[in-house]
Chain A
């Protein structure tokens, strides 16, 4: 089983997780920018974070043969903080980077006017930079948030084949299925989706435009739930080729629209990053 996790927050995971993921078949991933678990207080905090998404994390991933790409954005939660808004002006610099394959996570948290404005501005940036978009849907009032997301996407004029609406479930998938946007599902230990429920959704809605991710972060989450979903698909009598479509070919197709995705496995792992080897006991 080869796995491309299209949404995982590796900066909040340990190096051991990279090792376990590689052993489970994860060979590529996209890490979208989000918040830190506590509020940022300046744009500088974002740029240091973005620097790690294009520098340190790809290095850590390369130790285990995993190709690391990222999505860059001002997240919906912090779109509401005027101290963070100025990061919008430096986003174009990061959206031009080699490993940046999407704008994200954008979308809604509390559906405020500030979030409206920042979401629309970042959809415009995606069009300008010829990048796909990864849209987070809110935890609270999810159905209304998903509908509003689709309206804003439509209004922006972006090609909906270049948009994934993420964190869907049985209640919201139907809204997105007919929109032309891609459908993202985060598989969590307790909340959001479980592997067997995911397999049932795939049975009902088909495999096209479907992305399955672990969305693992510093919360209770599990970076191996993509692999578990592959097992659940097999148990539900999907073929190996169908598992490969959902867990590998679909994300390659979606993020490949950036023109910057590189999933060749030829690159040997870098030995040090900024002189810092994470191989304990090494030089």
Chain B
């Protein structure tokens, strides 16, 4: 997600485009200014969902896009950039944290933002967990990624928030879903439809399934 693209998207959406243009300019000259401008983005630009966004911006709000634009305008690299991104997350309210998570694939900090994903996944805040499972979640190790996907199922977060789910879902995730399904049945409860569909996809894999059954028998 480049800054230029977001600036185009926001041109007709931000409530106060002059404020946003000025804020981007200030951050480009003085990255420390972002600390005060980042929280103000909601009240200056608006908090409505982006209308008809392209698929990469599904679920984004105007303030998300404005905040990501501010982050990508910072003329910082390496450790200094990672430190500023981390501080915006630490001192952010839930909306600001969500924007930082959305920005992670667009800022050049390598895998140093993984700790922020771990924090977000710990929170039990569905808005943050959903944002943490975007494209940057490719940096999560498999164990944590599977845990996060299962947590979505627990919390009723639609699995459409998980970037690259079809490609990354593996047999171990299928086993975890099957165990959850068994627990739910024992309790007289059901699985969300999207999780049941994923379970069925993962466990109907013809080469693995008959073999498993033979072993078990």
A interface, CB within 8 angstroms of B: 47, 51, 54-55, 90, 92-94, 96-99, 129, 259-260, 272-276
Residues on the B chain within 8 Å of A94, using CB: 91
Determine how close the nearest CB of chain B comes to the CB of A56; give it in whole angstroms. Answer: 10
Whether B35 pairs with A93 at a CB distance below 8 angstroms is: yes
CA distance A15 to B39 in the complex (A): 28
Residues on the B chain within 8 Å of A93, using CB: 35-36, 39, 91
Whether B91 pairs with A90 at a CB distance below 8 angstroms is: yes
Q: List 29 A-B contacts (CB under 8 A).
A: A47-B91, A51-B93, A55-B93, A55-B94, A92-B35, A92-B36, A93-B35, A93-B36, A93-B39, A93-B91, A94-B91, A96-B35, A96-B36, A96-B39, A96-B40, A97-B39, A97-B93, A98-B39, A98-B42, A98-B95, A99-B93, A259-B43, A272-B126, A273-B125, A274-B124, A274-B125, A275-B123, A275-B125, A276-B124
CA distance A143 to B42 in the complex (A): 42
CA distance A51 to B93 in the complex (A): 7
Is B155 interfacial (CB 8 A cutoff)? yes
Determine how close the nearest CB of chain A comes to the CB of B127; give it in whole angstroms. Answer: 10
Chain B, 82-114, CB within 8 A of any chain A CB? 91, 93-95
Whether B36 pairs with A98 at a CB distance below 8 angstroms is: no
Residues on the A chain within 8 Å of B124, using CB: 274-276
B interface, CB within 8 angstroms of A: 35-40, 42-43, 91, 93-95, 123-126, 155
Closest to A99 in B: B93
Residues on the A chain within 8 Å of B93, using CB: 51, 54-55, 97-99
The DSSP consensus for interface residues of chain A is: loop
Known: A47-B91, A55-B94, A260-B43. A274 touches B123 (CB 8 A): yes
Q: Ordered nearest first, which 9 A-B pairs have the shortest CB separation?
A: A275-B124, A96-B39, A93-B91, A274-B125, A96-B36, A274-B124, A97-B39, A54-B93, A274-B123
Residues on the A chain within 8 Å of B42, using CB: 98
Most buried by B among A55, A92, A97, A129: A97
Closest to B128 in A: A274
Determine how close the nearest CB of chain B comes to the CB of A190; give it in whole angstroms. Answer: 37
Most buried by B among A51, A260, A274: A274
Closest to B129 in A: A275
Beyond A90-B91, A96-B40, 12 additional pairs, beta carbon < 8 A: A47-B91, A51-B93, A54-B93, A96-B36, A97-B93, A98-B39, A129-B36, A259-B43, A260-B43, A274-B124, A275-B155, A276-B124
Closest to B38 in A: A96
Residues on the A chain within 8 Å of B125, using CB: 273-275
Closest to A259 in B: B43
Determine how close the nearest CB of chain B comes to the CB of A102; give it in whole angstroms. Answer: 16
Most buried by B among A51, A260, A275: A275
Residues on the B chain within 8 Å of A51, using CB: 93
CA distance A260 to B40 in the complex (A): 10
CA distance A93 to B124 in the complex (A): 24
CA distance A129 to B35 in the complex (A): 13
